Structure 1
Amino acid sequence: MSNSVIDACRALKMPPPSKAVLMAMADYANDHGECWPSITTLCEFTCFGKTAVIAAIKWLEDHKLVYANRDNGRHTTYVISPKNYENPSASRTGSSRGPVRLADDTRPPREPDPSASRTGPVRQTDTNHQEPSRTISKATPKKSAPVSTVVMPDGVDPQTWADWLALRKAKKAPVTETVLRGAIAESAKANLPLNRFLEIWCSRGSQGLQADWLKPNERAGPGVVVPIRPSASADFRGKTYAGTAIEDLPPDLRDAARAAIADG
């Protein structure tokens, strides 16, 4: 939760469903305005049905308050931008339909009635997506995903840092201060420098890494060979039992020794 994002959104005027969804997103957002709550989570937070929540998200996107990145396909990442908000009261006042009524007006907003979700099940028009589809024409440039502003810590090699950022991007995982603090804590548990911990992370190619997952050779560092205990069979390699009493032979050789003596 980011208090700065919540404070920036609190004073904005808009229809009640859109305001409720915006404040729910702000409650889950970090200081950069990034959040990724599901439609179900937003419904539980606002007490509105899915139809009303989806319509509210579209309204927020149309008025440039929220940018939604749906490239992942499994979940949507939102970026809240209160400074980009286009107040509809200024652009639509004086039109043939009259001024748009906001949250403090007496007339109901022009939004789907959320009470419909409380009287019966809501049917989704598209069962494959919980979000409204966004058609982008060839003339409209596609917005790029938010770039992480996390600063590279001291003691980390620039190439290692670049490799780790590329891995996080490939895994569709955000790079936040919280993620970096977790990596620093795990490297301390493993008694490894952060740079070495990130190198191991990159070599594994995993989305996450914990100190308990490290192997002995990874803890020892590159180029260090961990001694391997010889197997039990290696103890008998190259040995001879000439002159050994039958009773002193290993159990699996005694019968063979007695048979050889009897044949001789």
Structure 2
Amino acid sequence: MSTIIMSACWPMQGMSAAQKAVLISLADQANDDGYCWPSVKTITMRTCLSERAVQRAIRWLELAGILRSSERSGTSTVYQLTPAAYAPPPEMPPVPVAPRGVPVTPPPPPQWHPTPAPVAPKPSMNHQLNRKEPKDKRVAAPAFAVPDWINRTHWDAWHSCAKRKKATDAQKQMAVDKLDAWRREGVDHAAALESAAIAGWQGLFKPDAVPEAGRRSGSRQPANTHKHAGAAAAIFDGVWE
């Protein structure tokens, strides 16, 4: 061991513990001229570092100018320590030594400030953007279709009565079917509808079957009277005479 080389290497700073351990191990084996030729395995055993950590430390020491290495054919590498030329590179800070078998985690990437968000539009524009489109109005059901052969005026007048205002389409269709059946039988269906509209009846009646309530109320009588209407009129005329 060369005390000159060792005394020059001990005070050196600006390196990691692994790099300093490899440097002291080489200095401990160097002669007065700074030459030594230990194997990487020997340095690993002396420093308790992994082979990869030893190799990284040797490369750093070479870049710092404190160590030179040369290969000898068929033998190990020859190292020469040059403490006077030590100049740690500013762009290569000491590398921390990771535990054996644990990979070194690279430093995180630089954090860039996000691009500022665009200026929000004016409140009036926000109001227009946030305004919801009106929903489609509910489509009204189609009105009940009255056949052409029915007098629409009499039909509307009949359904304006209090008893017929709430008639459903199904009930209206039943009334149309009844009038159609009478029309096919030759019954005066128009007179039946007109009588129902005038008297305000809820239902339809054949002209020869007018309800007693309708006759007592003084409503207009249908054109085709009951077959006993003439006899009844004669009897009443005789009574009143």
| TM-based fold match above 0.5 | no
TM-score normalised by length of structure 2: 0.39
Bigger CA radius of gyration: 2
Q: TM-score, normalised by structure 1?
A: 0.36
